[in-house]
Structure 1
Amino acid sequence: MANRASAEYELFTADDLRLRFESRSDQPAPDREFGDHLLNPDIVQLMEREGAREAAVLVPIVDRRDGASVILTQRTQSLRKHSGQIAFPGGSVDKTDPSPEDAALREAHEEISLAPEEVKILGRLPRYLTTTGFRITPVVGIVRPGFELEANPAEVADIFETPLSFLMTEANHVRASKVWGGVERHFYEMPYGERYIWGVTAGILRTLYERYYA
């Protein structure tokens, strides 16, 4: 899919993002949860919050000299949920995980071989509710260059990076909709070249934008 959004965007660095997090360290995350329901208030099945499964994803920001980038994955077609979609490394929070941060780091190591010691955690974004029954805690971390990644073929078909500056430019956030099961569902999409970033992943990126870049 060709990129439909603007190619003009400001350069952002990992240090810039770190300063943005530090400048808001005294401000707790919003009480309201972000999620699919904000664009689709009529979707009733979005949850009983008590029934949602706790999950965590790592939002890995690579500290590149020519501007920060975000590590994303393309999920395999064989997965039961969100197959073939672009996603952050992550998954369910297990009972053995001390925190969402530990879960996100564990999943990133399992899925793309990103070692936990390569990641410096900045903090969390507000939790994100999905129509597929998950309450996701996005954990933002800085990754220094020099790491080596390897996709777990059972879960990940591809690993790639997208410029943070592109993703944090509002002109590149497209509101779209599609009919599923006779119901029109609205979502964000951020097409980047042949990469179609949309749905939950785009929603979490939009949350990062609204909280730190808007």
Structure 2
Amino acid sequence: MGNEALTCAAVLMPLAWREDEWHLLFTRRTNDVEQHKGQVSFPGGACDVQDATPEQTALREAYEEIGLDPGDVRLLGRLKEMVTITCFRVTPVIGIIPWPYDFRLSAVEVERVFSIPLLWLAQPVNWEEHNFPPLAGAQVQVDGAPRSFPVISYHPYDGEILWGASARMTQDFLKVLELL
């Protein structure tokens, strides 16, 4: 998979101080979106021509998806880029948001917003890693052949299942914080 085939994207990983501990904010996408229907994700999406940085992309998308005003986000930094099996090159951007917040969800893109405590996410009993076999039409290939790939899947929290790229980004962040 060459970089020329990858779509530039960024997500905002919003941190909120809630109930005396840090939480990460997630969204569940609607079934009406083009990519990742019904999945748990961070607010974010593809880079636009006017976006000069991943931060601009993440903030623009968070405003479009959940009504989070860019002026209400205190940016902390970025994690390393991640390439997804759906051919996105994603830059996770970390930011602190106020809590509570009056979110305005895009009815087309976001079904709901919820948060999960960082310490819950860091507990190994709450997640598993599976090695998935090659999928029919898999886009992840080695020497021209589909390959298996590891997928992180969390146990349900508040009725939601965090898995895949969003779970990998979460664990990358927890490693930076030295919680994993």
TM-score (norm 2): 0.86
Quick one: distance in 2 between partners of 1:176 and 1:77?
25
Residue identity in the other structure for 1:116: P
TM-score (norm 1): 0.73
Q: CA deviation at 1:168?
A: 2.4
The structure where strand makes up a greater share of residues is: 2
Q: 1:201 corresponds to which residue?
A: 166
Moved more, 176-185 or 128-137: 176-185
Quick one: distance in 2 between partners of 1:114 and 1:53?
24
Moved more, 180-189 or 157-166: 180-189
Quick one: distance in 2 between partners of 1:124 and 1:185?
24
Instruction: Give the % identical residues.
Output: 35
- Are residues 1:188 and 2:152 paired? yes
Q: Which runs of 5+ in 1 are unaligned?
A: 1-46
Cα deviation 1:78-111 (Å, max 9, x = unaligned): 2222111000000011110121101100100000
CA contact (8 A) 1:113 1:149 kept: yes
Q: 1:162 corresponds to which residue?
A: 116
Q: 1:127 corresponds to which residue?
A: 81
Quick one: distance in 2 between partners of 1:49 and 1:125?
19
SS at match of 2:74: strand
Quick one: distance in 1 between partners of 2:113 and 2:80?
25
Higher relative contact order (CA 8 A, sep 6+): 1
Q: 1:67 corresponds to which residue?
A: 21
- Are residues 1:114 and 2:68 paired? yes
CA contact (8 A) 1:118 1:147 kept: no
The 5-angstrom pairing of residues 33-72 of structure 1 reads 47-72=1-26
Residue identity in the other structure for 2:31: Q
Q: 1:77 aligns with which of 31, 49, 53?
A: 31
Quick one: distance in 2 between partners of 1:68 and 1:209?
12
The 5-angstrom pairing of residues 87-102 of structure 1 reads 87-102=41-56
Corresponding residue pairs, total = 168
Q: 1:152 corresponds to which residue?
A: 106
SS at match of 1:122: strand
Q: Which runs of 5+ in 2 are unaligned?
A: 138-146
Aligned CA RMSD, in angstroms, stands at 1.7
Quick one: distance in 1 between partners of 2:79 and 2:169?
8
